Amino acid sequence: NGEIMNRIFSGVQPTGNLHLGNYLGAIRNWARLQDQYDCIYCVVDLHAITTPQDPSELRANTREVTAGLMAAGIDPKRNIIFNQSRVSGHAELAWVFNCVARLGWLNRMTQFKEKAGKHRDNATVGLYAYPTLMAADILLYKATHVPVGEDQKQHLELTRDIAKAFNSMFETDFFPMPEPLILGAARVMSLRDGSKKMSKSDDSDYSRINMTDDADSIALKFRKARTDPEPLPESTDGLEGRTEAANLLGIYGALADETIQQVCEEFAGKPFSQFKVQLIDLAVAVLAPIGHEMKRLSEDPGYVDQVLSTGADRATQIATPILSDVKKVVGLT
Ligand code: TRP
């Protein structure tokens, strides 16, 4: 282990309304990685502006997401937490990568196709170039491992393609190939409709558990969560076609660190009313302290800003020599 340095980089968009899906899908895993790796966690505000943002909301969301990371247990002393725009190397390296990546590569990105939809001509150039900025995020620190969800795998593959192309263009082995870390992330669905992902933009607040929800709202929302009239099954086979049931069991399993099969065995034949009592107890035990800490941090924006500013200084220290080497390799200095 000694000589091989492992460095994690991951990014999260500064969106409002962090919810259980964000927590179980990413943030909780990030907190767990800090014991094994040097981690750099970046609130990607430059990525956020690839679609229009209200400036004061963007500022508030950057703080809220930072508070969410800390409340979930990510220690800003042991790790680096900062927002992307404070380290200018991200934008600089992204430009170099814009001159390495090919239109054909970006044209294949499914996330761009989805986000741009039918109105491609109206999408910003930034939305199109989003993946080259993401590649810059990762490679500016020569990160070796990147925890990503299913939806970001293609962008990480592109990052590797860019690293490879850069290395071969300049006949160097400068950039390491970052490896994906696919962690058992739960896919959390809406509490009102088990076929839709839990989302910050769902009109109904009852569709999601926010990371800032207190014990009472957590209990109320799970009590109102949709189920079906059947009792809980003995095994996962019995969850076929029961999306709402599968979602609640999945949430319980994720919170308890158990497989869905184990949850089925525990509650086989019980009615949902009984299961929900246990689910609420567990969810409140895990989430209420996080919500409480987020609230406390929201009342101390000076502290959050200071974490971001210290994080940016530490990130700059790692990025500066790497960027300066890139400039030498390319012939810019
Ligand atoms: N694109 C990622 C997302 O939307 C966020 C992100 C930006 C990221 N830069 C990154 C993730 C670098 C991993 C590594 O979720």
pLDDT tens per residue, range 144-163: 999 998 889 999 999 999 99
The CB of 28 under 6 Å from ligand 1? The reply is: no
Q: What is the pTM of this model?
A: 0.94
C-alpha span between 252 and 260 (Å, rounded):
8
Q: Is 22 in the pocket of ligand 1 (CB under 6 A)?
A: no
Structure tokens at 93: 């390296």
Return the biggest CA–CA distance within the chain. Answer: 70
Asked whether residue 5 carries a pLDDT value surpassing 80, the answer given is no
Q: How far is C-alpha 282 from the chain's CA centre? A: 23
Q: How confident is the model at residue 3, as a pLDDT?
A: 42
Catalytic residue selected from 118, 200, 295, 327: 200
Q: Are 274 and 243 in contact (CB under 8 A)?
A: no
Give which of 189, 112, 182 is closest to 149, Cα–Cα.
182
Q: Has 115 been annotated as catalytic? A: yes
Helix (H, G, I), strand (E, B) or coil at 200: coil
User: Closest Cα to atom 7, ligand 1: which residue?
Assistant: 11
pLDDT for res 2 = 42
Give the Cα separation of 46 and 67 in Å (integer): 19
137 CB near ligand 1 (under 6 Å)? yes
Mean pLDDT of 136-145: 98
The active-site residue, picked from 115, 142, 295, 327, is 115
User: Which structure tokens are listed for 155?
Assistant: 């962008």
Q: Where does the pLDDT of residue 16 fall: very low under 50, low under 70, confident under 90, or very high at 90 and above?
A: confident
The response to whether residue 148 sits with its C-beta less than 6 Å from ligand 1 reads: yes
Task: Note the pLDDT of residue 4.
Answer: 53
Give the nearest ligand 1 atom to 138 CA. 12
Q: Say whether 221 is catalytic.
A: no
Kindly state if the Cβ of 326 falls inside 6 Å of ligand 1. Answer: no
Instruction: Using alpha carbons, select from 139, 130, 69 the residue that is nearest to residue 304.
Output: 69
274 — pLDDT class (breaks 50, 70, 90)? very high
